[in-house]
Amino acid sequence: MIQLTRRTLLSGASAAAALTPFGIRPTFAAAPQGAKSTGVFSYKLGDYEIIQLSDGARTFPMPDTFIANVSKDKAIEAATEAYIPNGQVTIPFSPMLVNTGSKLIAIDTGNGLGAFAGSKGVVGQARGNMDAAGIDPKSVDIVLISHFHGDHIGGLKNADGTPAFPNAEILVPAVEAAFWGDDANQSKANGFNKSQFAGVKKMMEGLKVTPYEPNKEVAPGITSIASPGHTPGHTSFVVASGSAKMLVQSDVTNIPALFLRNPDWQAMFDNDGAQAVQTRHKIYDMAAAEKLPVIGYHFPFPCVGHVEKNGAGYRLVPIV
């Protein structure tokens, strides 16, 4: 059951205190001289620093079942209307860091250095972007995982299997850990998620993790919000510093030009498509009503914008 309420999202502050576009103070982080990476974007949320890291993007021909409950022809028509090249989809990835002043918190990790090598640098760029920004993985105190898909947990280990964040506490959703930790659930998963079990097991093996529950403060200023459907334990977050707040929606939606405009469409990645649709409406109705900035893991970099109601769907209004 989705535990999303106005009180959960805005506890301790009035709706008027929710972050407006003027509350975000962006700066493009300068890479050190000689660095090749420019995939770093930082801005202030209250007293916190938010750092978006590009992890690259995958482009591939649209699978026949990319949208599970809509024909491929209709999906391609919608993509074309959104100026997405005919028959292709591009999915970017963007983990983030929250610097509270006392703690450095990573929210998800990207595809990882193994994927960087395997894709010849197409994805798995987050570590290089951390290096370009002068951020040592050893300085990360907490790694907060939203769900167990490979593009979110792939950076937990280095290419040689050693922990990528050796000094960090790794926090994972309790429901998510229980689902992926039980091999019996593989037969109950949809096609895409069936294929993820082996990778999840390999990545999580040997790592010490701490389960967390929904609707709790799981790190300083960060509250977990149950947002199931994409996976059983999929979690979003509210990050708050003083009266400034933003919603980190994780994978509530994939490509916004398709799934924000058509929130009832079910992506092939969603384990429970109907539940994912229900979650999408609840999350975005709340974000739109409260004018909360929204961070989308698969939004176009640097991934921050507002979500507005637009007819039967929604639209993304980038802040930068």
Q: CA 130 to CA 168: how far, in whole Å? A: 16
What's the pLDDT score for residue 319?
86
Those residues whose C-beta lies under 8 Å from the C-beta of residue 205, and which sit 6 or more positions away, are none
What's the pLDDT score for residue 19?
35
What's the pLDDT score for residue 38?
73
What's the pLDDT score for residue 29?
40
Domain ranges of the chain: 6-318
Say whether pLDDT at 209 is over 50: yes
306: its two tokens: 């507002």
- Residue 76: closest CA among 66, 86, 67, 68: 86
Q: Please list the alpha-helical segments (H only) found in 196-259.
A: 197-204, 256-259
Query: What is the CATH topology of the domain spanning 6-318?
Result: Metallo-beta-lactamase; Chain A (3.60.15)
**Residue-wise pLDDT tens digits, 52-100:** 999 999 999 999 999 999 999 999 999 999 999 878 999 999 999 999 9
**Residue-wise pLDDT tens digits, 223-241:** 999 999 999 999 999 999 9
Query: Peptide bond before 211: cis, by omega within 30 degrees of 0?
Result: no
